Chain A
Amino acid sequence: MKKQTIRTVLVDDEEPARLLMREYCSAHPDIEIVAECENGFDAVKAAGELHPDLLILDIQMPKLSGFEVLELIDDPPAIIFATAYNEFAVRAFEVHAMDYLLKPFSKERFDEALERARKELEAPAPLLLQPLKRTLQPNPLERILVKDGSKVHVIPVDQIDYIEAQDDYVSIKTDGKSHLKQQRMAELEKLLNPQKFVRVHRSYILNVERIARIELYAKDSRVAILKDGTKVQISRAGYDKLKGLL
């Protein structure tokens, strides 16, 4: 079989770290560096446009962590993490990273990681390459990432007023704006802090801190008036859950 080049993207916010990886890669003619990114946003963009085979990824980066980058890539390539922190190793395994390099790493150790990725790419185990997106998020969720074309919105959960179900999407309402994200309500509900976010209705998850008051709407049904005046329907079961919390 003819040897193919492995199209690789390097992601690290530190210039010397990228320099080192570039140098280590230069000894491997089959590794073609198609992009170097200094932050998560660039990495998401590069992955979307260039569809690389391999991502060598730092974890602690501004705005988007390495894990969040993975969450935002639709068709994730093979991943090698490179970080000074050993506490993320378990999560790295959960997303089926090829390898986990601890800085500072030797050239031999780096070559080993590349070899592992090479083998995996030659004989792909498709199931293994699919990151389990569900396990990516920390629990409870601190922020929600929404992709909007090539842009990424980072929404801290504290800023959310409420979330509305819309078919296969959820519409996240913050400060009069709404962001559409492809996710199921039940899945999102599980990830959010249950002390703060309550599924008050089949179609609504409510941030309890935004509630100004609750009014009777009809028999067995109530409506929450939010601090900005928005009204959100509450089902009977939802009201019971709210009462338990408040």
Chain B
Amino acid sequence: MHPILSNIRALVVYLSVWLIAGMLFDIPLFLQHNGIWLPILLADIPNILFFALLCLSSYYICKTFPLQKSTPTQLFTVFGLAAVIATVVTIGVGTIWVSFIDELHVGPSVAAAYAPWTTGINALGFFAVLMLSFLLIAAVHYIIIFFQMEQESKQRFYELNLLTQDAELRALRAQINPHFLFNSLNSISALTTANPEQARHMTILLADFFRKSLDVGTRDAITVADELSLISDYLTIEQVRFGKRLQVQKKIDPSTASCLLPPLILQPLVENAVRHGIANLLTGGTILILAQRQNEQLLLTVENPVDPETQTKKGTGLGIRNVRSRLETLYNHSARVDVTKTDLYFRVTLSIPVEENEE
């Protein structure tokens, strides 16, 4: 959308400025020739408006050749050519129009009045004025584009902020999964008489887990090591409930430990692996957690066996969709979520650009 053409008020202001400036040039003519004001107005107003509108086309050239991405030679050639064409067209059309007005004989000849400016060495000056005007308007367009981009990036920034906060809130809410809490409390209740030692251990694990979740939820990024420690607490609690049915295998490349990632991005995937994978299997299975680095990307994988006869229940996709939209807002297209689902296993891999903790 053209910023001036699409805004009627801007267009009126723009054309008015042109008309006033153009008319200023005509004041000496009004003083020299009696009764010329009518043919001059008839000839000049359309001519000025024609050129003014023609100058607006420079916006599209500015868009096609952004300042940052174009070489000076490119800019010089393109705008030089455009200015010459615009000027030649304007003078051509203007001359025809002026002779048309003169034919009407509403006053002294306009062409004759203009003659001192449009002949000889002065013609070059007239030509140069038009070209410079065209280039001036092009410069104005570059300035408008600059402000537009600034506005857009600001808006994007606010949108991103909003989305991140929203995701954090959702992640936190998902974090405090009530059924996880109730089942864990039920286990603790069972263990208090049978195995007080373990009951106490589990209470502490549960407290640790929730404290860490609340803490990391307020941060922008945490290290892989922090996220894994949280996951480790979570899995230890679930292992009390599921016993031997829940096995965990971790393959963590040590060089990933200090890499940064958004908090609570991997934990929901592990929780899904337990709830939709292990919990549906009679004899349970092994959850595989992988962290590695590959070409400046941090790869995090959670894989779990699935029961081929259990149909995926609602809610499975939601966790992954949240993770995907969070990564998209934070990393744009440089992060990816890959989901592989077969009859036997379910695997999610997150690919995030490597960013290391400076501390």
- Where the two chains meet, the residues of A that have a C-beta atom closer than 8 Å to any C-beta of B are 13-17, 19-20, 23, 39, 41, 60, 62-63, 84-85, 102-105, 142-143, 154, 156, 158
CB-based contact A19/B179 at 8 Å: no
Assembled-state Cα–Cα distance A14/B281 (Å): 13
Q: Which among A63, A105, A158 is the interface contact of B282 at CB below 8 angstroms?
A: A63
CB-based contact A143/B309 at 8 Å: yes
A-B contact sample (19 more), CB < 8 A, given A14-B183, A14-B186, A16-B187:
A13-B242, A14-B243, A16-B186, A16-B191, A17-B241, A23-B193, A41-B282, A62-B280, A63-B280, A63-B282, A63-B309, A63-B310, A84-B178, A84-B182, A84-B183, A103-B185, A104-B185, A104-B189, A105-B186
Given A16-B241, A63-B310, A158-B311, A102 and B279 contact (CB-CB distance below 8 Å): no
- Chain B: residues with Cβ within 8 Å of the partner, total of 26
Which of A16, A39, A102 has its CB near the most chain B CB atoms (within 10 A)?
A16
Q: Which among B189, B307, B310 is the interface contact of A20 at CB below 8 angstroms?
A: B189
CB-based contact A62/B282 at 8 Å: yes
Chain B residues contacting A23 (CB-CB under 8 Å) are: 190, 193-194
A-B interface pairs (CB < 8 A), number: 69
| Nearest CB of chain B from residue A14's CB, rounded to whole Å | 5
Given A16-B187, A17-B187, A142 and B179 contact (CB-CB distance below 8 Å): no
Is the CB of B111 closer than 8 A to any CB of chain A? Answer: no
Chain A residues contacting B307 (CB-CB under 8 Å) are: 62-63
Chain B residues contacting A143 (CB-CB under 8 Å) are: 309, 311
Assembled-state Cα–Cα distance A19/B178 (Å): 22
CB-based contact B186/A17 at 8 Å: yes
| Nearest CB of chain B from residue A84's CB, rounded to whole Å | 4
Main secondary structure of the interface of B (DSSP, over half): helix
CB-based contact A84/B190 at 8 Å: no
Chain B residues contacting A158 (CB-CB under 8 Å) are: 311
CB-based contact A104/B182 at 8 Å: yes
Is the CB of B205 closer than 8 A to any CB of chain A? Answer: no
Chain B residues contacting A60 (CB-CB under 8 Å) are: 279
Is the CB of B19 closer than 8 A to any CB of chain A? Answer: no
1/0 per position for B240-252, CB-CB distance to A under 8 A? 1111010000000
Q: Which among B183, B243, B311 is the interface contact of A15 at CB below 8 angstroms?
A: B243
CB-based contact B311/A19 at 8 Å: no
CB-based contact B279/A103 at 8 Å: no
Chain B residues contacting A104 (CB-CB under 8 Å) are: 182, 185-186, 188-189
Chain B residues contacting A16 (CB-CB under 8 Å) are: 186-187, 190-191, 240-241
Q: Which among B182, B193, B279 is the interface contact of A62 at CB below 8 angstroms?
A: B279
CB-based contact B190/A20 at 8 Å: yes
3 tightest Cβ-Cβ pairs between the two chains A and B: A20-B190, A84-B182, A103-B186
